[in-house]
Amino acid sequence: MILHSQNKTIEIGKRTLIMGILNVTTDSFSDGGDYTDIDTAVARAKEMIEQGADIIDIGGMSTRPGHEEISIELEMERVIPVIKRISSELDTIISIDTYRYEVAEEAMKNGAHIINDVWGLQRDNGEMAAVAAKYDAVVVAMHNQNGTHYEKDIMISMREFFEKTFNIAEENGLSKNKIIIDPGIGFGKDIDLNLEVLHRMNEIRDIAPILLGTSRKRFIGTLLNGLPPKERAEGTVATTVAGIERGADIVRVHDVLQNKRAALVADAIIRR
């Protein structure tokens, strides 16, 4: 599958794509405060590209459970200068990690290609979908909910959620074929649900291409006897390989080099 967005082409399915995480925030759970300076952020993006990142995902507000919202203006102040610099200096695909359509539109104006929305186009009244349609952007739509209780089987609930996402997209002129789905590991799910979704992820691979985002998340730390976020690379690699086997086309990670190497080997075995 070939996806087009602005001046970039994204080929899905031939190999696993690596999305490198660039948080220009002070409070992200793993790397908050590491890349708040523009020069440092651009240098980190360059390093990830050299290590094998196909996409750089830039976020200006933490979306971890219990996060504190910041103003739209502050979010823009953090991400737009970085997007401009990376767009002008580095040859890469840029993703904006936001659920605010105002930030997404400004990002698209300044060089972004993908909108990564942790609320799957369902946080507003269709404005995010309309922005994506306006710029013919690729969208990563993540499954999410408040709380971890589900009345139905988790995979049925997920299918219903994405059906709503596709309906919102259609109503606002965005093709379903521009949407990549993310099962939302760590969002609206406890550790058991995270593991169940990972185990059964192949059940949703018919819906759309899948992006998997597990990098350094809490459930990995729990499984590894409480290891802190920056020591969870090996655990993340395990989820990357399991995810590729179950249909993931893109993995969103902090530790690009380790996951790129794992994906190369997994692809050689699985994508034959």
Question: Do 10 and 3 contact (CB within 8 A), yes or no?
Answer: yes
Classify 140 as helix, strand or coil. Answer: strand
Token output for 80? 């737009």
Q: Exactly one of 44, 100, 216, 252 is catalytic; which is it?
A: 252
Q: Exactly one of 217, 232, 246, 260 is catalytic; which is it?
A: 217
Beta bridge partners of 95: 57, 114
For 215-231, give the DSSP string.
TT-HHHHHHTTS--GGG
Distances (CA, A) of 85 to 8, 94, 110: 17, 11, 9
271 is catalytic: no
260 is catalytic: no
* 241 vs 225: CA distance, rounded Å: 21
Catalytic residue list? 217, 252
